[in-house]
Amino acid sequence: MPDTVWLADRFEEHRPRLRAVAYRMLGSHAEAEDAVQEAWLRVARAGADDVDNLGGWLTTIVARQCLNMLRSRTRRREEPLDVHLPDPVVSTGEEIDPAHQALVADAVGLALQVVLESLDPAERLALVLHDMFAVPFDQIAPIVGRSPAAARQLASRARRAVRHGAPEPDRDLARQREVVEAWLAASRRGDFDALVALLDPDAVLRVDGGAQATGVTKLVRGAAAIAGNALMFGRGARFARPALVNGTVGLVNAPGGRPVAVMAFTIADGRVHRIDILADPDRLAALLG
């Protein structure tokens, strides 16, 4: 019993990082919790008597569980959804939960999370573990059943896909805030030209209204089309408030205090390149309710 208690205490110490790894792998808070819990059940059964690097061992177990879940998800999904956004990590500055703080600290933009969703499961694992959590390729290799050199190639292919699909965002939060506030002001006053000026000509808008949504889930391309879409819903802009969404400046739209949308902006060179909006009422209730 004392060994079990010791192991449970050590697992709780590592839980925030394990949950962050699982979220990067799965893009779902609920599935990340499931993966970490399943990892604990396996750890509790196996014990850790011969383990030298407990953190690395736990990360490997969680990664294997996530890989299995990703492969199962790929087999189940016969046709990819046109627009499906990962769960965002939203912070209004009020949260103090350590697990949430770990997610925010390690957060990558929602646009990058969208690209990760499109990767082969083994590519996603290699990129996430190596580039985001500094796991060496000789430890990644046995998880994906490849040699270290092949695991390195998986990560390299994933990086190319990321560079193609997600522009490198500006890191200056103050500059991001200026652009988002300008977007919000232009939306509120219905200024089409100002909205277009804030957008990259090839900007992309994704709106995920959930599986049951009709007319809410959409993919819009081009500055003029996105600006027109913003004007259609301009009345709701007065309820939008700033928030950090996956570590970047975004908005939460909450009329009457009830969240109806979370907006993530990808801003590069002072212009908006991507806007990702989660408007799925069920997922919003679970995330922010």
Given a cut of 60, is residue 5 above it in pLDDT?
Answer: yes
Task: Report the residue count for the chain.
Answer: 289
The highest-confidence range among 98-107, 184-193, 207-216, by mean pLDDT, is: 184-193
pLDDT bucket at 79, cuts 50 / 70 / 90: very low
Task: Say if CB 281 and CB 260 are below 8 A apart.
Answer: yes
From its phi and psi, is residue 98 left (phi > 0), alpha (psi between -120 and 50) or beta? alpha
Given a cut of 90, is residue 105 above it in pLDDT?
Answer: no
Task: Say if CB 222 and CB 201 are below 8 A apart.
Answer: yes
Given a cut of 90, is residue 34 above it in pLDDT?
Answer: yes
Given a cut of 60, is residue 80 above it in pLDDT?
Answer: no
Q: Please give the radius of gyration of the chain, using alpha carbons only, rounded to the nearest integer.
A: 20
Domain 173-288 belongs to what topology? Nuclear Transport Factor 2; Chain: A, (3.10.450)
Kindly state the average pLDDT of the residues 76-102: 64
Report d(CA 223, CA 183) in Å as an integer.
Answer: 13
Work out the angle at residue 72's Cα, subtended by the Cα atoms of residues 212 and 103, and round it to the nearest 5 degrees. Answer: 75
The class (CATH top level) of 2-165 is mainly alpha
CA distances from 132 to 20, 23, 206, 218 (A): 10, 12, 25, 30
Of 26-35, 162-171, 245-254, the least confident: 162-171
pLDDT bucket at 120, cuts 50 / 70 / 90: very high
pLDDT bucket at 83, cuts 50 / 70 / 90: confident
Eight-state DSSP code of residue 52: S
- How deeply is 109 buried, as exposed, middle or buried, from its count of CB atoms within 10 A (0-12, 13-18, 19+)? buried
Domain range annotation of the chain: 2-165, 173-288
**CB neighbours of 229 closer than 8 A, spacing ≥ 6?**
205, 220
Of 34-38, 96-100, 209-213, the least confident: 96-100
Given a cut of 50, is residue 1 above it in pLDDT?
Answer: no
